[in-house]
């Protein structure tokens, strides 16, 4: 019976008028009108109205008009199951239905949302089901699974962020959002590796941002759904507890690897440098890049036991002879310019196709991948996500796609 494919939650949305259809069946239209009126008078009897509606559908399931109406509902449910871009009104309905949400979008939209179980970061760039898009009218929403238990929202500043791993649930994970160019952004990036219990629990998230043309005039922010606070100088995190039979796992997709060129090292940790060591010889970093005509769309790459970690170029200031980076480099680490790619978009999609994506509940992709890969209007295979000013997968990353899976123990 095809009507059995429709969950009760979908029928309730129809009863409450949250989902509207042009139904063909006259009996269905009449009953819906009657039940909606009853529901306004005695909303506490909703379960009885639901059963009355389901009985009619079951009895008339064989009629062509009812079959077409049922197929309309099933088709919309199927389409909505993959939907990630929502209007403010749609997102507000999700919040009011007690969904647990991770949201990305323009600040003006976030300010219109009601209180609830959600956290957010500002950004107007996304990969939706139809491909890359910039929008100040839509929100990217990750709806967490119903089996997620606790959803504890916490605020961190530069002094307390070092406790994030101590406070992540033992059987769960943390989603952390930090505003770009804030003191906590730099503190987290430089010091994460020294945090107590670093990497002992899954911590994933992103650096919030603004439109490229608004950099310098607008400020990145994070939002707290429990208080509706927006902040430009503290981080928002949600600690999420999982049932005992589930576990969370973080992975990344990095399409870059070290090239065969010079080795580059630094005398200290940091985001900006005048000098570096090229094959052990002290040189001016900006002049080295100019002299060798280095494509700064390619990041610096460090290799750690087969794992490539990128540090991307932000700005080459030839007047001041300073190179500014989007993430820190670390003293004692060997870097090389990444190997060039034949095709940015193809390289990214080939890597995505190589992984199982069905259990991914959250992912984020770097703004530099979006810009350099010219991803506007283009899909990243089956992964949809906010585009970010930095990715958090235990530590701060650049030009990387980070994702989190929730799976059952065998």
**340 secondary structure, DSSP code:** P
Residue among 35, 40, 41 at smallest CA distance from 15: 35
- The answer on pLDDT for 79 being more than 80 is no
State the pLDDT at residue 284: 96
Average pLDDT score over residue span 357-367: 93
Q: What is the 3-state secondary structure (H, E, C) of 150-182?
A: CEEEEEECCCCHHHHHHHCCCCEEEEEEEECCC
Could you tell me the two tokens for 163? 């406790």
- The answer on pLDDT for 230 being more than 80 is yes
Q: Tell me how crowded residue 305 is: count the other CB atoms within 10 A of its CB.
A: 4
- The answer on pLDDT for 207 being more than 90 is yes
Could you tell me the two tokens for 95? 């919040």
Q: What is the pLDDT of residues 131-159, one digit of tens each?
A: 899 999 999 999 999 899 889 999 999 99
State the pLDDT at residue 279: 98
State the pLDDT at residue 307: 92
Determine what percent of the chain is predicted with pLDDT higher than 70.
97
**Strand arrangement of the beta sheet that strand 270-273 belongs to:** 270-273, 322-329, 313-317
Residue with tokens 């909703």: 46
Confidence at 4, pLDDT banded by 50, 70, 90: low
**Nearest-10 Cα torsion for 64, 67, 73, 76:** -80
Residues 272 and 324: their CA atoms lie apart, in Å, by 4
Determine what percent of the chain is predicted with pLDDT higher than 90.
73
State the pLDDT at residue 99: 93
State the pLDDT at residue 374: 92
Average pLDDT score over residue span 280-284: 97
State the pLDDT at residue 9: 67
Residue among 183, 209, 228 at smallest CA distance from 386: 209
8 A C-beta contact, residue 268 and residue 346: no
Average pLDDT score over residue span 330-334: 95
Q: What is the pLDDT of residues 231-268, one digit of tens each?
A: 999 999 999 999 999 999 999 999 999 999 999 999 99
Q: Tell me how crowded residue 200 is: count the other CB atoms within 10 A of its CB.
A: 13
Lowest mean pLDDT among 64-78, 167-181, 225-239: 64-78
- The answer on pLDDT for 302 being more than 80 is yes
- The answer on pLDDT for 126 being more than 90 is yes
State the pLDDT at residue 130: 80
Could you tell me the two tokens for 54? 């389901």
8 A C-beta contact, residue 42 and residue 13: no
**Planar angle of CA 307, 309, 312, nearest 5 degrees:** 160
- The answer on pLDDT for 196 being more than 60 is yes
CA distance to 16, 46, 51, per residue, from 38 (Å): 11, 9, 14
95 — phi, psi (to 5°)?
-65, -45
Average pLDDT score over residue span 69-97: 82
Residue among 276, 297, 298 at smallest CA distance from 287: 276
Helix, strand or coil, per DSSP, at residue 48:
helix
End-to-end CA distance of the chain: 32
- The answer on pLDDT for 21 being more than 90 is no
- The answer on pLDDT for 98 being more than 60 is yes
Residue 385 vs residue 83, higher pLDDT:
385
Residues 277 and 262: their CA atoms lie apart, in Å, by 10
Residue 60 vs residue 130, higher pLDDT:
60
CA distance to 52, 91, 224, per residue, from 59 (Å): 11, 35, 47
Residue among 193, 163, 161, 208 at smallest CA distance from 269: 193
- The answer on pLDDT for 3 being more than 70 is no
**365 secondary structure, DSSP code:** E
Confidence at 380, pLDDT banded by 50, 70, 90: confident
- The answer on pLDDT for 345 being more than 90 is no
**261 secondary structure, DSSP code:** S
- The answer on pLDDT for 15 being more than 70 is yes
31 Cβ neighbours under 8 A, 6+ residues apart: 52, 53, 56
Residues 152 and 238: their CA atoms lie apart, in Å, by 5
- The answer on pLDDT for 117 being more than 60 is yes
Average pLDDT score over residue span 69-85: 75
52 CA to centre of own chain: 40
Average pLDDT score over residue span 184-202: 96
The model's pTM is 0.81
Average pLDDT score over residue span 327-353: 93
231 — phi, psi (to 5°)?
-140, 140
Q: Tell me how crowded residue 25 is: count the other CB atoms within 10 A of its CB.
A: 20
Query: Mean pLDDT of all residues in the chain?
Result: 92
Residue 3 vs residue 116, higher pLDDT:
116
- The answer on pLDDT for 402 being more than 90 is yes
Confidence at 20, pLDDT banded by 50, 70, 90: confident
């Amino acid at each position: 019976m095809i009507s059995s494919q429709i969950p009760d939650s979908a029928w309730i949305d129809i009863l409450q008028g949250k989902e509207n259809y042009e139904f063909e069946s006259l009996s269905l239209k009449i009953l819906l009108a009657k039940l909606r009126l009853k529901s306004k008078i005695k909303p506490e009897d909703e379960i009885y109205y639901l059963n009355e509606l389901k009985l009619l559908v079951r009895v008339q399931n064989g009629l062509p008009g009812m079959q077409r109406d049922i197929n309309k509902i099933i088709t919309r449910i199927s389409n909505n199951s993959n939907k990630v871009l929502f209007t403010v009104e749609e997102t507000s309905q999700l919040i009011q239905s007690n969904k647990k949400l991770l949201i990305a979008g323009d600040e003006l939209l976030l300010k219109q949302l009601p209180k609830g179980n959600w956290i957010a970061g500002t950004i107007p760039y996304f990969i939706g089901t139809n491909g890359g898009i910039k929008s100040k009218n839509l929100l990217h929403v990750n709806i967490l699974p119903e089996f997620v238990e606790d959803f504890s929202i916490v605020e961190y500043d530069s002094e307390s962020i070092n406790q994030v791993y101590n406070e992540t649930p033992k059987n769960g994970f943390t989603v952390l959002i930090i505003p770009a160019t804030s003191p906590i952004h730099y503190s987290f990036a430089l010091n994460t590796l020294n945090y107590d219990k670093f990497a002992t629990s899954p911590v994933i998230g992103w650096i919030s941002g603004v439109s490229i043309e608004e950099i310098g005039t607008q400020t990145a922010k994070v939002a707290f759904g429990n208080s509706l606070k927006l902040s430009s100088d503290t981080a928002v995190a949600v600690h999420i507890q999982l049932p005992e039979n589930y576990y969370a796992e973080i992975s990344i997709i990095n399409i870059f690897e070290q090239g065969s060129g010079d080795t580059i090292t630094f005398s200290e940790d940091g985001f900006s440098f005048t000098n570096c060591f090229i094959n052990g010889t002290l040189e001016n970093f900006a002049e080295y890049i100019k002299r060798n005509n280095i494509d700064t769309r390619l990041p610096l790459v460090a290799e750690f036991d087969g794992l490539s970690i990128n540090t991307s170029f932000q700005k080459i200031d030839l007047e001041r002879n300073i190179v500014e980076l989007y993430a820190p480099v670390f003293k004692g680490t060997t870097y090389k310019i990444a190997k060039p790619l034949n095709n940015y978009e193809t390289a990214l999609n080939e890597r995505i196709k190589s992984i199982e994506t069905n259990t991914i509940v959250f992912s984020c992709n770097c703004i530099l991948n979006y810009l350099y890969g010219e991803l506007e209007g283009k899909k990243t295979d089956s992964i949809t996500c906010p585009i970010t000013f930095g990715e958090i997968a235990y530590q701060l990353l650049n030009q990387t796609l980070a994702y989190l899976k929730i799976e059952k123990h065998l």
